[in-house]
């Protein structure tokens, strides 16, 4: 039977009943792609897999949570939803709200949303309000408005979002037949790392796996409140999706890290861009900058010395790594979301007149 979205696939584990009207775009069931080169970089028969969440219907992992959040909002009689967003949540909310035939309001930091995401929200009919402020201002206002007006909040402060997003962990265990040893994720509002940890624990309780992964979260260096243990007033990073200074799921993320004996660390914009380029050039997987934070994090850990608190680096140093270590890196959003980033990589086409000789020369071949 064809795939009908995460609610139909994992219904007993989600907060839905037979009465819930399912609003779906057939999200989920995204590929888990083996990366030969990353595996080789880790060494010792390691297997590194990329969970490619950019292949969801709106191009990010947000669709998993949004199918549950919008379905439940409709069930409760909501006729409008609202979210604060660095872009991807707004694209998903707009799409699922359009599908459900309800209004969608999104509050965004002006000028800090990747072009593709803004286009998606506008095209799907959301009322887009650009704030002269940052994401944290937007979330504060959304919480206030959601409490005082008849609009349902679909940020990850809404538990239905976390419930939907945990299904990515289910899928990984179902494909591998066991949980990985390490799971690398970018961290912004910290909803996703919370959701994965919940998913891994529930799937183990359901008897689908024996172990739990160490959760490895990576914030952008200029927007790293959890790492620095303080609110960042003016977060800044090239990875606009994770430009967040006061994450909603802060405490839950700290729990996931400590319970799993994992790590919360930072990656610089240069490391993020280098990892984004590396993944595109070596694995053919083009992701948006924020998504590359998980890959940058893995590469940082492999640099051993630089990552003192890192359990993976420690295992590598001490040669303790189980021989066939399994690592999953989630890449959260598609590269097409943020096409302008190509300029930061100084990549552009070669322009020539349409003659055979010019083209042959441009190809680098001899005439």
Q: How far is the CB of 220 from ligand AN7 (least distance, A)?
A: 10
Tell whether residue 295 is a contact of ligand AN7 (CB under 6 A).
Answer: no
What is the rounded distance in angstroms from the CA atom of residue 180 to the CA atom of residue 163?
20
Tell whether residue 30 is a contact of ligand AN7 (CB under 6 A).
Answer: no
3 state SS of 185:
strand
Comparing CB distances to ligand AN7, the nearer of 185 and 312 is 185
Comparing CB distances to ligand AN7, the nearer of 46 and 69 is 69
Q: How far is the CB of 361 from ligand AN7 (least distance, A)?
A: 40
Neighbouring C-beta atoms of residue 207, cutoff 10 Å? 7
Neighbouring C-beta atoms of residue 333, cutoff 10 Å? 30
| Contact with ligand AN7 (CB under 6 A) among 67, 78, 158, 189 | 189
Q: How far is the CB of 66 from ligand AN7 (least distance, A)?
A: 10
Q: How far is the CB of 318 from ligand AN7 (least distance, A)?
A: 30
Q: How far is the CB of 65 from ligand AN7 (least distance, A)?
A: 9
Among residue numbers 69 through 88, which ones bind ligand AN7 (CB under 6 A)? 85-88
Among residue numbers 196 through 235, which ones bind ligand AN7 (CB under 6 A)? none
Q: How far is the CB of 72 from ligand AN7 (least distance, A)?
A: 19
CA distances from 234 to 133, 217, 228, 249, 268 (A): 10, 21, 14, 19, 16
Q: How many Å is the maximal CA-CA distance in the chain?
A: 72
Cα separation of the two ends of the chain: 55
Comparing CB distances to ligand AN7, the nearer of 47 and 332 is 332
What is the rounded distance in angstroms from the CA atom of residue 353 to the CA atom of residue 117?
35
Q: What phi and psi values does residue 279 have, to the nearest 5 degrees?
A: -65, -40
| Contact with ligand AN7 (CB under 6 A) among 213, 222, 333, 335 | 333
Comparing CB distances to ligand AN7, the nearer of 292 and 325 is 292
| Contact with ligand AN7 (CB under 6 A) among 5, 109, 180, 191 | 191
Among residue numbers 235 through 294, which ones bind ligand AN7 (CB under 6 A)? 241-242, 288, 290-291
Among residue numbers 91 through 130, which ones bind ligand AN7 (CB under 6 A)? none
Q: How far is the CB of 279 from ligand AN7 (least distance, A)?
A: 14
Comparing CB distances to ligand AN7, the nearer of 251 and 358 is 251
Which of 23, 47, 285, 257 minimizes the C-alpha distance to 152? 23
Tell whether residue 60 is a contact of ligand AN7 (CB under 6 A).
Answer: yes
Q: How far is the CB of 277 from ligand AN7 (least distance, A)?
A: 17
| Contact with ligand AN7 (CB under 6 A) among 42, 46, 69, 187 | 187
What is the rounded distance in angstroms from the CA atom of residue 81 to the CA atom of residue 120?
16
What is the rounded distance in angstroms from the CA atom of residue 269 to the CA atom of residue 220?
7
Neighbouring C-beta atoms of residue 249, cutoff 10 Å? 23
What is the rounded distance in angstroms from the CA atom of residue 223 to the CA atom of residue 333?
18
Phi-psi region for residue 231, left (φ > 0), alpha (ψ -120 to 50) or beta? beta
DSSP code at position 233: S
CA distances from 176 to 106, 133, 234, 279 (A): 37, 43, 40, 22
Q: Which residues bind ligand AN7 (CB under 6 A)?
A: 60, 85-89, 156, 186-192, 241-242, 288, 290-291, 332-333
């Amino acid at each position: 039977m064809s795939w009908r979205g995460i609610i139909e696939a994992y219904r007993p584990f989600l907060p839905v009943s037979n009465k819930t009207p399912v609003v779906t775009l057939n999200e989920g069931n995204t590929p888990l792609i083996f990366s030969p080169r990353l595996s080789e970089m880790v060494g010792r028969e390691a297997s590194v897999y990329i969970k490619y969440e950019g292949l969801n219907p709106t191009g990010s992992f947000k669709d998993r949570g949004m199918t549950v959040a919008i379905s439940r909002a409709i069930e409760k009689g909501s006729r409008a939803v609202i979210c604060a967003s660095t872009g991807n949540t707004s694209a998903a909310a707009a799409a699922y709200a359009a599908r459900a035939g309800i209004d969608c309001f999104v509050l965004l930091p002006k000028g800090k949303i990747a072009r593709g995401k803004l286009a998606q929200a506008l095209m799907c009919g959301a009322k887009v309000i650009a704030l002269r402020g940052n994401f944290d201002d937007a979330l504060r206002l959304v919480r206030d408005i959601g409490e005082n007006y008849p609009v349902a909040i679909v940020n990850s402060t809404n538990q239905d979002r976390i419930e939907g997003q945990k299904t990515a962990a289910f899928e990984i265990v179902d494909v591998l037949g066991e949980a990985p040893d390490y799971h690398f994720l970018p961290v912004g509002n910290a909803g996703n790392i919370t959701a994965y940890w919940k998913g891994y624990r529930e799937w183990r309780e359901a008897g689908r796996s024996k172990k739990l992964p160490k959760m490895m979260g990576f914030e952008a260096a200029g927007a790293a409140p959890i790492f620095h243990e303080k609110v960042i007033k003016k977060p800044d990073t090239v990875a606009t999706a994770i430009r967040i200074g006061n994450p909603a799921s802060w405490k839950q993320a700290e729990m996931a890290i400590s319970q799993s004996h994992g790590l919360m660390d930072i990656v610089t914009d240069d490391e993020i861009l280098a990892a984004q380029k590396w993944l595109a050039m070596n694995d053919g997987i083009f992701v948006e900058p924020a998504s590359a934070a998980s890959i940058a994090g893995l590469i940082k850990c492999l640099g051993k010395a630089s990552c003192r608190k890192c359990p993976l680096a420690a295992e590598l140093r001490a040669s303790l790594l189980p021989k066939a270590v399994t690592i999953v890196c989630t890449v959260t959003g598609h590269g097409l979301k943020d096409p302008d980033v190509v300029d930061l990589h100084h990549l552009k086409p070669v322009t020539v007149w349409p003659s055979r000789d010019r083209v042959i020369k441009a190809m680098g071949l001899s005439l």
